[in-house]
Chains A and B, each alone.
Chain A
Amino acid sequence: MNDAIWSQALMVFIGGFSGVFLGLVLLMLSVMAMRLLVGNEKQSAKTAGKGDKANG
Chain B
Amino acid sequence: MVESFPLLNQVIVSTGFCCLQIGHLIMWLVSFLFIYLAIKKGFEPLLLVPIGFGILLANLPLAPIMGFSDHGGEAHRNLIQWFYDYGVANELIPCIIFMGVGALTDFGPMIANPKVLILGAAAQLGVYISFFFAILFGFGIKEAAAIGIIGGADGPTCIYLTAILAPHLLGANALAAYSYMAMVPLIQPPIMRLLTTEAERKIKMKQMRPVSKREKIIFPLLGTVVICLLVPPAAPLMGMMFLGNLFRESGVVQRLSHAAQNELLNIVTIFLGLSVGATMNAEAFLKPQPIFIFVLGLVAFAFSTAGGVLMAKLMNLFLKEKINPLIGSAGVSAVPMAARVSQVEGQKADKHNFLLMHAMGPNVAGVIGTAVAAGLFLTMLR
Residues of A within 8 A of B (CB): 1, 5-6, 8-9, 11-13, 15-17, 19-28, 30-32, 34-35, 38-41
Contact = CB atoms under 8 A, between A and B. Distances in A.
A28 B267 CA distance: 34
Given A12-B380, A34-B215, A23 B230 contact: yes
B124 A17 contact: yes
A11 B118 contact: no
Contacts, number: 107
B117 A28 contact: yes
Nearest to A14: B128
A31 B377 contact: no
A51 B127 CA distance: 52
B218 A16 contact: no
A1 B140 CA distance: 10
Q: Chain B: interface residue count, which band?
A: 35 or more
12 contacts: A8-B141, A9-B132, A15-B376, A16-B376, A16-B377, A19-B230, A20-B124, A24-B121, A25-B117, A25-B118, A31-B114, A38-B212
B128 A16 contact: yes
A26 B226 CA distance: 7
Given A20-B372, A31-B114, A41-B213, 11 more contacts: A1-B135, A11-B380, A12-B131, A13-B131, A15-B376, A17-B125, A19-B231, A21-B118, A22-B230, A28-B118, A34-B215
Nearest to A42: B212
B373 A16 contact: yes
B222 A30 contact: yes
Nearest to A9: B135
Given A20-B121, A24-B120, A26-B230, A9 B219 contact: no
Contacts of A6: 135
Interface of B: 110-111, 114-115, 117-118, 120-122, 124-125, 127-128, 131-132, 135-136, 141, 144-145, 209-210, 212-215, 218-219, 222-223, 226-227, 230-231, 365, 368-369, 372-373, 376-377, 380-381
Contact of A31 (B111, B121, B213, B369): B111
Contacts of A24: 117-118, 120-121, 365, 368-369, 372
A1 B218 CA distance: 48
A9 B215 CA distance: 39
B25 to A, nearest CB: 37
Contacts of A1: 135-136
Contact of B141 (A9, A19, A27): A9
Given A24-B121, A32-B114, A38-B214, A19 B376 contact: yes
Contacts of B373: 16, 19-20
A11 B135 CA distance: 13
A38 B141 CA distance: 44
Given A5-B135, A5-B141, A40-B209, A13 B128 contact: yes
Contacts of B212: 38-41
A6 B212 CA distance: 48
B242 to A, nearest CB: 11
Contacts of A20: 121, 124, 369, 372-373, 376
Q: Specify which of B136, B145, B212, B213 lies most central, judged by the most chain A CB atoms within 10 Å of its CB.
A: B212
A54 B373 CA distance: 52
B219 A34 contact: yes
Nearest to A13: B128
A23 B227 contact: yes
Q: Specify which of B145, B373, B376, B377 lies most central, judged by the most chain A CB atoms within 10 Å of its CB.
A: B376
Contacts of B376: 15-16, 19-20
Nearest to B138: A1
B372 A23 contact: yes
A27 B144 CA distance: 27
A21 to B, nearest CB: 5
Contact of B223 (A27, A32, A41): A27
Contacts of A38: 212, 214-215, 218
